[in-house]
Structure 1
Amino acid sequence: MEPQASCSAAAPLTERKFHVLVGVTGSVAALKLPLLVSRLLEIPGLEVAVVTTERAKHFYSPQDVPVTLYSDADEWETCVIRAWDRSKPLFFCPAMNTAMWEHPITAQQVDQLKAFGYVEIPCVAKKLVCGDQGLGAMAEVGTIVDKVKEVLSQHGGFQQN
């Protein structure tokens, strides 16, 4: 996600625009996309767009997402992230089954993303769709939205109520 001020810091709060780009891949966690986008759109001054893989669309209806959807093959993720302006925040919200989460490669990949300065919104433990019980479920929508609000408040663009 990319909270970004597109107006000068002196602009009145109502004129400031922040942009969030939500990336979604082919995981059952994509079911939460319509709710996540709707909740983000409740934040004043926030603009939202979504980059989605075709496989992710299996889990939600594009008609239920009230923002621009950019669709591409699976390689979009590495292209967007490699071109990211690292002075802007990037959050990642892991979602996978427990066996995948517990694999040592996953820990290495998460550590590498953190080393780049990206912010993890950790997965949570619960009974997963695959039947596993444990860590691997994507963070709750409210947790993700709260983190976006926190970053916006740090950039002076959002007043928490």
Structure 2
Amino acid sequence: MGSLAGVEMTTGYKPRLEGTHQVPAAAVAASIDDGKKHLLLAASGSVAATKLPLIISAFRGHQNLSIRLILTEKAVRFLAGQSPEQPTVSSLASLSNVDGIYLDEDEWSHPWKRDSNILHIELRRWAHLLAIVPMSANLLADIAGGFCHDLLTCVIRAWDTSRTIIVAPAMNQLMWEQPVAVKQISVLTEEWKWFDVLSPQITEACDDLGEEAMRDWTGIVTVIEKRLMILE
């Protein structure tokens, strides 16, 4: 897990603790029965993470929707305001419907005590839908291999498989076409039926055969709306 100090220096953002004295896990647990639809939106290390503001803003008309974000350590590296197209983590926190943003360090923000809430478990209980936008090649490998070494992969490993996980892959074309990636994707599409894989689109990038870019963000929004049944 990365250094929180490093994240703060890069982004200027400190993860929010909802409620005056509540640790993140307790705050999530307290909101499980708030009567809203719950979208757990996660991003891993890809330039496509810069699409998060567009995706989140598309839901601003859904007043009964609560969104919580999980950002991996590498996702944060794309969200430091380095260019006009790259938002900051703090700017995501100000968008409509966003009720929490969580980094790896939030899992251990306070020393654990017996009977304490555990963040990855409470986020899993809270979420009606998990959407991983984007899913990098590295995260794909972690998911298919069952690894759980950070907050996001722990949520995935603890997931209630009666609920859906949407994944939107984003990686270089050769990485996407590698036999190991093909095998890993087949695990998600053919064996683990709780995954909904939104296949990427081909664009010209990377000085290579092209980049398997993440599915167009508007299409991702439509899929999420249908899954949560919040079309209005």
Same fold (TM over 0.5): yes
Look at both structures and tell me which one has the larger radius of gyration over its CA atoms.
Answer: 2
Identical positions, percent:
34
Per the normalisation by structure 1, the TM-score is 0.79
Deviations 1:54-75 (A, max 9, x none): 2211212102213321001762
Distance in 2 separating the partners of 1:42 and 1:59? 27
Query: The residue matched to 1:79 in structure 2 has which SS?
Result: helix
Q: Which residue of 2 aligns with 1:46?
A: 65
Q: Give 1:20 deviation, angstroms.
A: 0.7
Change (3 A) 1:133 1:146: farther
Q: How does 1:12-161 map to 2 (within 5 A)?
A: 16-60=35-79, 61-66=88-93, 67=98, 68-72=100-104, 75-114=150-189, 115-117=191-193, 118-128=195-205, 130-134=206-210, 136-153=212-229, 158-160=230-232
1:40–1:131 distance in 2 versus 1, CA, 3 Å = farther
Distance between the aligned counterparts of 1:135 and 1:58, measured in 2?
A: 20
Change (3 A) 1:51 1:159: closer
Letter of the 2:73 counterpart: E
C-alpha distance 97-44 of structure 1, shift in aligned 2 (>3 A): same
Amino acid at match of 1:57: V
Deviation at 1:32, TM superposition (A): 0.9
Root-mean-square deviation (CA, aligned residues, Å) is 2.1
Cα contact 2:69–2:101 (8 A) shared by 1: yes
* Distance in 1 (alpha carbons) for counterparts of 2:207 and 2:68: 32
The alpha-carbon deviation at position 135 of structure 1 amounts to 5.2
For residues 172 and 231 of structure 2, what CA distance do their matches in structure 1 show?
36
In structure 1, what is the Cα distance between the partners aligned to 2:59 and 2:78? 19
Where do 1:6-17 residues align within 5 Å?
A: 16-17=35-36
In structure 1, runs of 5+ residues without a counterpart are 1-5, 8-14
Paired amino acid for 2:183 = Q
CA contact (8 A) 1:124 1:137 kept: yes
Partners of 1:41 and 1:48 within 8 A in 2: no
Which runs of at least 4 in structure 1 moved beyond 3 Å after TM superposition? 131-135
